[in-house]
Amino acid sequence: MSTDARKPPAQIALRIRRALGGKAGWNGVAVQLGFAAVLGWIGYEIIANARTNLETQHIAAGFGFLRNNAGFDVNQTLISYTGSDTFLRVFVVGLLNTLVVSLVGIIFATALGFVVALCRLSPNWLLSRVGEIYVEIIRNLPLLFQILFWYLAVLAALPNPRASISLFGLVFVSNRGLVIPRPIGEAGFEPFLAAAAFGILASLALRIQARRALFREGRMIRIWPYVLGLLFALPLLTMLVFGAPFALELPQLKGFNFAGGARIIPEFVALTLALSIYTAAFIAEIVRAGILSVHKGQMEAGSSLGLSRGTTLRLIVMPQAMRVIVPPLTNQYLNLTKNSSLAVAIGYPDLVSVFAGTSLSQTGQAIEIIAMTMGVYLALSLATSLVMNIYGARLNRSLGA
């Protein structure tokens, strides 16, 4: 009973002293606070000084320009945009273009990196040499040259729109990009979407159910016929009942270019190619290092159990290797995102090109625009790190480390 009655010491004060002061105690806390105050003061002085100097030089300052009309066009916009939209919209357009090229680049780079790593580790002499040559050539050439190479190579190889390569009159490839038919929603569109969404959700639920049965009760449930039915038969059935979900708008050559259809511009293709091929070389080495860090006894144990090489890799080696792979892999993802700012060299309208480039010189407000752009890259990088850290932590927990 007596222990219950005793009041605990002031935990918060102690914790602050421990965290800020360390061994120096309260003196240390004072020094730390003083240091923070000086830093804050220096930061304030820089901002105030820059502000007064901008004013005396009659250079426009502040973020009011974001509401002004941009007055220029952009050739790839994921949201609707015209020249009479604001600079804020330009910012969003550029940001989305950066995001989409980074995301697609990360997916391709990861896939290619894993394949190349497995090639390098393959017992097949030819495959492993191919992997080695790939890594040694790609990672030792500057990225900017690779981007320019792919851009000029892609452009040089492609004909002009009037002589474009056509696949069944549906898909057209020319130096204006890849033009594909665009689906346009019709009457049956919404039921079709609903059916497809239900199918996907139900299949996921089935899979969770099957895994639970496998791990808890050791029962194997065959779910693939049901999944097939949910994913394909159900939407097909709704199509029969409600009519076609969408009509295809076919691209047609009109004047200089294709009208109708959706288009992927060659700048996007070149940039994605260059970024993923370049980053894949680094990822391949990271994956190789990760796999080699797993003791070879694990592989031998797998084969002595009668598992194939692929199954051993997938079920035993990779989960352990991922622990080593994830942190440096995060670095590569961050690099790829930041490297996407080289897009301006080939005219891909990413954030740096349309916002820190065109908008900057139209408004002349370098400090605000560069600060916003840097803020975006910082936020993107921190978000990527966060996701990868969470993934890494889950991985460690599942391995009991």
Residues that bind another protein (CB under 8 A): 46, 49-50, 53-54, 56-60, 71-75, 83, 152, 155-156, 160, 175-176, 254-257, 259, 265-267, 341-342, 344-347, 349, 352-354, 356-358, 360-364, 366-367, 370
CB 266 → another protein: shortest distance, Å?
7
**One-letter amino acid for residue 175 of the chain:** N
Measured from the CB atom, is 105 or 349 closer to another protein? 349
Q: Report the DSSP beta bridge partners of residue 249.
A: 182
Given strand 262-264, what is the order of strands in its sheet? 165-167, 171-174, 177-180, 262-264
* CB closer to another protein, 361 vs 389: 361
Burial of 374 (0-12, 13-18, 19+ CB in 10 A): exposed
List Cβ neighbours of 329 (8 Å cut-off, separation of 6 or more).
110, 283, 286, 388
Q: Which amino acid is at 396?
A: N
Nearest residue (CB) to another protein, 57 versus 304 = 57
Cβ 79 to another protein shortest distance, Å:
17
CB of 352 to another protein, least distance (A): 6
We find the least distance from the C-beta atom of residue 353 to another protein, in angstroms, to be 7
Of 49 and 398, the one with the shorter C-beta distance to another protein is 49
- The residue among 28 and 347 lying less far from another protein, judged by its C-beta, is 347
Q: How far is the CB of 383 from another protein (least distance, A)?
A: 20
5 beta partners: none
CA distance 194 to 398: 35
C-beta closer to another protein: residue 90 or 294: 90
Q: What is the number of other CB atoms lying within 10 angstroms of the CB of residue 230?
A: 22
CA distance 174 to 163: 8
Whether the Cβ atoms of residue 110 and residue 388 lie closer than 8 Å to each other: no
What's the rounded Cα separation, in Å, for the pair 282 and 275? Answer: 11
Strand spans (E) along 89-230: 165-167, 171-174, 177-180, 182-185
User: Distance from CA of residue 123 to its chain's centroid?
Assistant: 32
Which is closer to another protein, CB of 152 or CB of 393?
152
Q: Considering the complex, what minimum distance in angstroms separates the CB of residue 135 from another protein?
A: 26
Could you tell me the smallest distance in angstroms from the CB atom of residue 144 to another protein? 11
